[in-house]
Amino acid sequence: MIHIKQTIFRRALEVLLAGSALLVPLSAQSEGSSQAQSLPTVQLNAGIHRIHVMVARTPDERQTGLMFRQTMGTNDGMLFIFETATRQCFWMKNTLLPLSAAFIDLEGRIVNIADMAPQSLESHCSDQPVRFVLEMHQGWFAKKGLQKGSYIGGITGR
């Protein structure tokens, strides 16, 4: 009974704070990056390079993304999956790590890559409609020789 009351209270508090521009998910406030760590993970590849990613599919998961995360493994990242291919724009408010975002089409080809500064409200958009966005450490794609037209394996059909 106490757990139910705590859950109801927490949800009510989230609803009350939902209009705030500074909204921090309660799970992120109390548990750091545990929300991101609870997401499903998959292995992708870019040629010989293996990538371990968390998958963000729902609007809430995509909105939180890698916010508040202080560390991330060298070949770790986050794959954002959208229901339909549309022009996607990303920004970095409350994201502490410098990231590069690869905007990826339905066939798994990189459309464009944007380097994004931490804690910035600057928008970085896909050059055309995409269904996937892969965030990695800033410069990761360049270090691996990946660019527009490069193929990321393991995401199509998901």
Q: Residue 7: CB partners within 8 Å, gap ≥ 6?
A: none
**Residue-range domain boundaries for the chain:** 1-31, 33-143
Amino acid identity, position 117: A
Confidence (pLDDT) at 14: 38
Q: From CA 145, how far away is CA 141, in angstroms rounded?
A: 6
Q: Residue 76: CB partners within 8 Å, gap ≥ 6?
A: 51, 52, 53, 54, 136
Distance, CA of 146 to chain centre:
19
Q: From CA 44, how far away is CA 42, in angstroms rounded?
A: 6
Taking the whole predicted model, whether its pTM rises above 0.85 is answered as no
Q: From CA 7, how far away is CA 151, in angstroms rounded?
A: 43
Could you tell me which of 123, 60, 61, 55 has the C-alpha nearest to residue 89?
A: 123
Q: What is the mean pLDDT of residues 52-64?
A: 95
Confidence (pLDDT) at 131: 97
CATH topology of domain 33-143: Jelly Rolls (2.60.120)
Confidence (pLDDT) at 156: 65
- Residue 87, phi then psi, degrees to nearest 5: -70, 125
Confidence (pLDDT) at 38: 84
What's the pLDDT tens digit per position in 90-130? 999 999 999 999 999 999 999 999 999 999 999 999 999 99
